[in-house]
Amino acid sequence: AQSVTQPDIHITVSEGASLELRCNYSYGATPYLFWYVQSPGQGLQLLLKYFSGDTLVQGIKGFEAEFKRSQSSFNLRKPSVHWSDAAEYFCAVGARNTGNQFYFGTGTSLTVIP
């Protein structure tokens, strides 16, 4: 069965520090992978996505993620965090079959301290 695991429920980083949010997935084939960010009371904003090709993908707001097939991971990174990055981050796996279902991780809450 497909699943997504975000091991870190909550992360606190200092402004200007680097960030890595972990995401591991379980899927029978190469999945479509996404990272979304959600501010309180808001919908989801797509940060970046991986479909195929280069395993290092660049997204908006200075985020990047690397697909590592051998580790079934798709970790999100940012070299220097800004206070405005404080939010909830969700990793999602999309099925390549006709089901089109998304599987979301439980999310990682990011707090940025000055």
Smallest separation (angstroms) from another protein to the CB of 18: 25
Rounded distance between C-alpha atoms, residue 46 and residue 106, angstroms: 16
Interface positions with another protein (CB under 8 A): 32, 34, 36, 41-46, 49, 51, 90, 94-96, 100-102, 104-107, 109
Smallest separation (angstroms) from another protein to the CB of 10: 10
Rounded distance between C-alpha atoms, residue 113 and residue 2, angstroms: 35
User: In this structure, what are the phi and psi dihedrals at residue 70, rounded to the nearest 5 degrees?
Assistant: -65, -25
Closest to another protein by CB, 70 vs 97, is: 97
Structure tokens at 14: 């200092």
Rounded distance between C-alpha atoms, residue 109 and residue 93, angstroms: 19
Closest to another protein by CB, 80 vs 108, is: 108
Smallest separation (angstroms) from another protein to the CB of 7: 14
